[in-house]
Amino acid sequence: MHNVFPIFFHLWFCFLSELNLCEAILHRPSIMISARYATYLTGESVFLECQITLDFTIHGYKFFKNNVEVRGGTEASTVNKYRIRTAKRSDSGSYTCLYWISDARGRQESDISLPVSLSIIDQPSTPSLSVKPQQTLYFEGETVTLECEHPVVNSQISYHFYKDSTKVHSYLDSTKSEYHISSLSTKDSGTYNCEYLVLGHQRTIPSGKSMQQTIAVTALSTSPLLKFLPSYITFINGENLTMECEAPTPVHVTIHRFYKDGEELKGPSSHRGIYMLQNVTKEDQAEYTCMYWSPKSDREIPSNQSPINELYIIDANRFSSRIVLYLAQSIFPSILTIFPLPVEEKQAQTMMLPPPCLTVGMVGSG
Ligand SMILES: *[C@@H]1O[C@H](CO)[C@@H](O)[C@H](O)[C@H]1NC(C)=O
Ligand SMILES: *[C@@H]1O[C@H](CO)[C@@H](O)[C@H](O)[C@H]1NC(C)=O
């Protein structure tokens, strides 16, 4: 109340002197938006307040939008607030105010306040979450991209991605709205949605969350076994060999594939899990694996790779060393455990061999 006296003194002075100085003496008010921000969403209500630092009797206020008075009449004009009940985009603009007092000479108006700028923007539209590529079922190791799609917003944006309602990823970027999962695991199965926040208006305006998208990730099928038939570890130049890719039993297999040192081998029956090598050479010495695919929920799910089966090829001139082994087997049957061979194969081989004494002679001459 200590501020009252100087004002009254000024008014009294004006009245006495009858000089036209009162407009200059009535201090310029300031206009404030009730919140600390100047951007509102359509539908929100906005309060503008015409403020004077000094405390004395004011008879009325005027508010202007883009220099046009926005509140006519006198009824509510004694209140220093201007309220926009339901903001529309057209309410955006530059707002100013003034106050007036009545004295013996009539109405005395203050200077117009400095303007305040009000922006009304639409509530950001709800985004939609797209999953690329879209699959009913994903398998481990696949790549997926979630994109939070929405109309262009001329502001800085931050994105939030949620999995089962928990935030899993968020970042600040106005140009890219993607969340990339480069190698899916079964733990990534869940329902996802996203949201973006419009920034840069002294307030953060959330878009609301998108509809949910489900991602289901399945593990790869149990690995098959790759067998060599006959089941030798080493083969001799010129021999034939069949590889079999054996899936664990009750699986429906659509296709098998064989790999030699990581590169796919194509043979007439390879898709059925059989691959034949005829007349093997050193070139065939490699690490072999196989895989199979089986259908699940309209997709072909790959298996894990079979354990590696290593193929060794020995030269014909070392042929004798294996013969010696066969001979030795009859003397020391325990050696069989080192090179286990199917009985029928052993017999077949033995029958093809020259007589034992001649073989020994070959070893000596070789
Ligand atoms: C390998 O297979 C081919 C074709 O079936 C056959 O002609 C050849 O005799 C076989 N070789 C051996 C060493 O069994
Ligand atoms: C097996 O390979 C050897 C040596 O490369 C060749 O001389 C022979 O003709 C081949 N035999 C067959 C049946 O392909």
pLDDT at 352 over 90: no
The ligand minimizing its distance to the Cα of 281 is 2
Q: Which two tokens stand for residue 258?
A: 């064989």
Protein residue closest via CA to atom 5 of ligand 1:
278
Report the alpha-carbon distance of residue 143 to residue 140 in Å, rounded: 9
- Separation of CA 361 and ligand 1 centre (Å): 27
Task: Specify the DSSP class assigned to residue 204.
Answer: -
Amino acid 76: pLDDT: 65
Amino acid 322: pLDDT: 52
Report the alpha-carbon distance of residue 174 to residue 161 in Å, rounded: 15
Report the length, in residues, of the chain.
Answer: 366
Average pLDDT, the chain: 81
Report the alpha-carbon distance of residue 169 to residue 192 in Å, rounded: 11
How does residue 211 score in pLDDT terms, banded at 50, 70 and 90?
very high
Instruction: Locate the ligand 1 atom nearest the alpha carbon of residue 239 and give its number.
Output: 13
Task: Specify the DSSP class assigned to residue 362.
Answer: H
Protein residue closest via CA to atom 9 of ligand 2:
279
Amino acid 269: pLDDT: 93
Amino acid 340: pLDDT: 41
Give the model confidence (pLDDT) of 324-344 as tens digits. Answer: 444 444 444 443 334 444 433
Q: State the residue for tokens 């926040």.
A: 197
Task: Specify the DSSP class assigned to residue 211.
Answer: P
Report the alpha-carbon distance of residue 338 to residue 309 in Å, rounded: 17
pLDDT at 84 over 50: yes
Give the model confidence (pLDDT) of 114-160 as tens digits. Answer: 999 999 988 899 999 999 999 999 999 999 999 999 988 878 899 99
Give the model confidence (pLDDT) of 152-180 as tens digits. Answer: 887 889 999 999 999 998 888 767 789 99
Amino acid 321: pLDDT: 52
Protein residue closest via CA to atom 10 of ligand 1:
240
Report the alpha-carbon distance of residue 322 to residue 314 in Å, rounded: 10
Give the model confidence (pLDDT) of 222-269 as tens digits. Answer: 999 999 999 888 999 999 999 999 999 788 999 999 999 999 999 999
Q: CA of 187: how far to CAs of 54, 128, 132, 302, in Å?
A: 65, 23, 18, 18
293 vs 172, residue with greater confidence: 293
Task: Look at residues 71, 81, 16, 14 and name the one whose alpha carbon lies nearest to residue 47.
Answer: 81
Amino acid 99: pLDDT: 92
Q: Rounded mean pLDDT of 170-199? A: 90
The ligand minimizing its distance to the Cα of 279 is 2
Least confident window among 9-13, 87-91, 100-104: 9-13
Q: State the residue for tokens 């099928």.
A: 221
How does residue 77 score in pLDDT terms, banded at 50, 70 and 90?
confident
Q: Rounded mean pLDDT of 335-363? A: 38
Amino acid 233: pLDDT: 84
Amino acid 328: pLDDT: 41
pLDDT at 349 over 80: no
Q: Is the CB of 239 under 6 A from ligand 1?
A: yes
Q: For a substitution probing ligand 1, which of 232, 278, 280, 319 has the most ligand atoms within 8 Å of its CB?
A: 278
| Sequence-distant (≥ 6) Cβ neighbours of residue 27 within 8 angstroms | 52, 53, 54, 110, 111
Q: State the residue for tokens 């303007």.
A: 115
Report the alpha-carbon distance of residue 120 to residue 126 in Å, rounded: 18
pLDDT at 353 over 50: no
Torsion of CA 120, 126, 132, 137, to 10 degrees: 170
Amino acid 107: pLDDT: 87
- Cβ-contact 154, 110 below 8 angstroms: no
364 vs 42, residue with greater confidence: 42
